[in-house]
């Protein structure tokens, strides 16, 4: 089962899921999938909307889904004195016993309302501790728009020893890396080589924004995109400390392999053409290919420079004794006398 599908499943034992979007690519379809899966499962789901309206997540109302639409409450612009942290804690305490899923969209908007990074961190830690006290697989799902100062804090093991970090990337980023750095995504290239090139470029958000919104950008809003999945810990128990990172695709409201993305098909066809290579015998005025009968006849032709027969007895004796045969040239000055006989040595 693909890593992304097992992580998004309502039965997943990952208690903390962090969804990361960017200006170039939104992770909203994945968040909508998680919301509907949680609402269809057992237990209670609390959805707190700060950025997007509820209609962007839930396809239809569910009995287990409680929605809190706070998109109109903006500090400094609303007449009422609204305190989001107190309202969220109150909703958590009044939630029925049993499984509980808390989804917050988005954390950077909540951070802007609170106005303090430390206070937001402590508040989210309190929420996470409340969820961990519930029966498994209760979990906390946070959506954040990167780059945000809250992301490095939420990904630390101090906040949660287990983590499912899902980041959305535009497909054009992979095609750019494949053409400019000659490093297509796996399986077209080794994973170790690809990650060394991909991660530094993906962390520079302006690279993706330039590819999408630049002068030659392809624009956003595509039907499919790339999802980077980083999973730390096997389940909620935290017994396994391994880290696994993969790239998968998202198309038609579900996860898929990268080879299934329509926007990346050019990478695989290009790789297949490079492996087959050009045929040097094409577009020639003569035929270089021989039939088996022609190859057999060609092998029967004697070569004029091949030495046939056995060597003579004299030649064999000289070769055996290791003699040196020398035929002097007409210009050679051969004199048997000692050229230094007049010297008194």
Distance CA 163, CA 300 (A): 72
Tokens of 167: 């980041």
Domain 3-269: homologous superfamily in CATH = P-loop containing nucleotide triphosphate hydrolases (3.40.50.300)
Q: Which residues contact 266 (CB under 8 A, 6 or more apart)?
A: 175
CA distances from 21 to 142, 168, 208, 275 (A): 11, 6, 12, 36
Report the pLDDT value the prediction gives residue 203, as an integer from 0 to 100: 92
Domain ranges of the chain: 3-269
Tokens of 221: 């809003």
What letters, b where the CB count within 10 A reaches 16 and e where it falls short, cover 18-48? Answer: bbbbbebbbbbbbbbbbbbbbbebebbbbbb
Report the pLDDT value the prediction gives residue 236, as an integer from 0 to 100: 43
Report the pLDDT value the prediction gives residue 254, as an integer from 0 to 100: 87
Distance CA 31, CA 27 (A): 7
Report the pLDDT value the prediction gives residue 118, as an integer from 0 to 100: 94
**Residue 320 buriedness (CB in 10 A; 0-12 / 13-18 / 19+):** exposed
State the distance between the two ends of the chain, measured CA to CA, in whole angstroms. Answer: 96
**Cβ neighbours, 10 Å, residue 121:** 18
CB 201 within 8 A of CB 173: yes
Hey, which bits of 118-204 come out as E strands?
Answer: 139-145, 163-169
Digits of tens for pLDDT over the chain (345 positions)?
678 888 887 677 789 999 999 999 999 999 999 988 888 878 899 999 999 998 888 766 678 889 999 988 887 776 667 788 999 999 999 998 889 999 999 899 999 989 899 999 999 999 999 999 988 788 999 999 988 999 999 999 999 999 999 999 999 999 999 999 989 998 888 999 999 999 999 999 888 888 888 876 666 656 689 999 999 985 444 445 588 999 999 988 888 888 888 888 888 776 555 555 566 666 677 777 778 888 888 888 877 765 555 555 555 555 555 667 677 777 666 666 666 666 766
Hey, which bits of the chain come out as E strands?
Answer: 16-21, 44-49, 65-69, 100-105, 139-145, 163-169, 224-232, 243-251, 254-256
Sign, CA dihedral 99-145-221-2, equals negative
Report the pLDDT value the prediction gives residue 313, as an integer from 0 to 100: 59
Instruction: Count CA atoms closer than 13 A to 345's CA, side-chain side.
Output: 6
């Amino acid at each position: 089962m693909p890593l992304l599908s097992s992580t998004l499943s309502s039965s997943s034992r990952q208690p903390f899921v962090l969804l990361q979007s960017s200006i170039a690519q939104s992770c909203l379809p994945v968040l909508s999938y998680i919301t509907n899966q949680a609402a269809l499962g057992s237990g209670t789901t609390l959805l707190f909307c700060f950025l997007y309206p509820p209609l962007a997540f839930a396809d239809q109302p569910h009995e287990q889904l409680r929605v809190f639409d706070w998109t109109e409450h903006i500090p400094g612009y609303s007449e009422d004195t609204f305190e989001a942290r107190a309202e969220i804690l109150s909703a958590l305490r009044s939630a029925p016993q049993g499984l509980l899923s808390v989804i917050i969209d988005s954390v950077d908007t909540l951070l802007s309302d609170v106005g303090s990074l430390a206070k937001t961190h402590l508040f989210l830690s309190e929420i996470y501790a409340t969820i961990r006290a519930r029966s498994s697989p209760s979990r906390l799902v946070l959506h954040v728009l990167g780059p945000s100062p809250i992301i490095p804090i939420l990904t630390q093991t101090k906040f949660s020893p287990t983590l499912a970090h899902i980041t959305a990337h535009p497909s054009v980023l992979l095609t750019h890396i494949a053409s400019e750095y000659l490093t297509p995504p796996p399986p077209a290239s080794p994973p170790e080589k690809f990650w060394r090139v991909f991660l530094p470029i993906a962390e520079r958000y302006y690279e993706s924004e330039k590819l999408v919104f630049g002068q030659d950008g392809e624009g956003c809003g595509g039907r499919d995109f790339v999802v980077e999945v980083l999973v730390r810990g096997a389940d909620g128990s935290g017994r396994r400390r391994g880290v696994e990172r993969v790239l998968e695709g998202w198309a038609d409201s579900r996860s898929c392999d990268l080879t299934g993305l329509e926007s990346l098909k050019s990478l695989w066809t290009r790789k297949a053409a490079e492996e087959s290579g050009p045929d040097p015998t094409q577009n020639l005025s003569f035929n270089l290919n021989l039939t088996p009968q022609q190859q057999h006849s060609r092998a029967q032709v004697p070569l004029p420079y091949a030495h046939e027969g056995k060597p003579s007895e004299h030649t064999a004796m000289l070769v055996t004794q290791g003699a040196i045969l020398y035929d002097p040239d007409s210009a050679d000055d051969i004199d048997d006398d000692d050229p230094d006989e007049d010297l008194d040595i």
